[in-house]
Structure formats: structure tokens, C-alpha cells
Amino acid sequence: MVGTIRTPGGLEVPEAAIRYTFVRSGGPGGQHVNTTSTKAQIRIDLDACGFDARIDALLRARYGHVVRATGGESRSQWRNRSEALERALAMIDAAVARERPRVATRATRGSRERRLADKAHRARRKSDRRWTGDD
């Protein structure tokens, strides 16, 4: 589909919902950082995305109406723009991802024995530190 960008998780975000702004990066860098606007700020408007109700509710609960991300590590505006887009798409996937339920397991015999041996060793070490009064 033309005019959409896919998240790593497979969701489609229309390019019309994405807005970039470029500002000057902070920090060291001398003349270059003071004269160029290379830091990319991205805003993805959730109203324009058209996600289904469950996904939309999850995203709005976490981010509100707009997903925001920035990229400013590089001297290149293009690289910072790509970095910001990757971050924003990863944020969308993270908000939508379902957590796998934990499967309860039992401790192995060896792990129980190691735990008890360590506990006994620690108890002996602490008891050796105590003053007995015999000295």
C-alpha cells in the first residue's frame, strides 16, 4: 500500500499522519551544531492513523493523541529523521504488544540444594564473626 509505513510489528501508519520538525541540537559540536537544524522531532497523529478500537485505546492510554519521538545523535538530518521514525514506530509496537502470561515452574532439586548450601555457608560466615567471650 503506497503512502504507509509499517512498524516492525506489522501495523500500518499512513505517511499523512507523520509530521517532522527540525531544530538545533544541543551539546558540544562547535560551529556545525550552532548553525544547522539537524535534530529531528516526529509527531504521529493517532486521529489520522485509523487503527482498530483496541489498538487505538492502548495507544491513547499510553501516549494521548500524539506519539512523539526525537533523534539527534548524528550530524546528519536524514539519519536523525530515520532514528526518530524508528523510535516512534517501536513505541507504537511496545504499547500494543501483549505480555505473555508467566508459566509457573518449580525449582529444580539442584537449585534448591545450591540455595541451602549457600545459606548454610553464609550462616557459618556470620557466626564466625560473632564474639564468643572466650578470648
Over residues 70-92, the pLDDT tens digits come to 998 888 889 999 999 999 999 99
Residue ranges making up the domain that contains 61: 4-96
Q: What pLDDT was estimated at residue 74? A: 84
Residue 124 lies in a domain: no
Residue 116 lies in a domain: no
Enter the DSSP assignment of 99: P
Low-confidence ranges of the chain (pLDDT < 50): 1
Residue 110 lies in a domain: no
Q: How far apart are the first and last CA of the chain?
A: 85
> Which residues are bridge partners to 19 per DSSP?
43
Q: What's the number of domains the chain is made of?
A: 1
Going by C-alpha positions, the residue among 77, 75, 70, 74 that lies closest to residue 91 is 70
Whichever domain contains 85, its CATH number is 3.30.160.20
Residue 76 lies in a domain: yes
Going by C-alpha positions, the residue among 5, 20, 16, 7 that lies closest to residue 92 is 7
Grid cell 501483549 is found at 98
Grid cell 551544531 is found at 33
pTM value surpassing 0.95:
no
φ and ψ of 66, to 5 deg: -135, 135
Written as nine digits, the cell of 86 is 524508528
